[in-house]
Structure 1
Amino acid sequence: MNLRLSHLAAAAQPITEIAASLGFATPNYASRCFKKFVGTSPKNISKPIS
């Protein structure tokens, strides 16, 4: 599970595509799992710092 979730943080693809490729039922579920394990959403991780 950790490898899958780290893929979400490192990828430049949309979360919907990553979630489907990793076998999650929905992008929402993938995001919730990521937040549970990492402590923040994939959206916050992939946001560029300005």
Structure 2
Amino acid sequence: MVSYNNLAELYVLWGKDDLAKKYRKLALETADAIDYKNNQENINKFIYRHHKF
């Protein structure tokens, strides 16, 4: 995610706005995927701890 954002910043400096937008989008999509995965794991742990089997 950080790498994508760094690439986007380089492309801005080099005047490659289309590539900068592409890598910013990839950075955001990666961050969203990581947040979703972490949230799903936390929800599953919560359910397991509080569910009476």
What TM-score comes out, normalization by structure 1 length?
0.33
Where is the helix percentage greater, Structure 1 or Structure 2?
2
Please give the TM-score of this superposition, normalised by the length of structure 2. 0.32
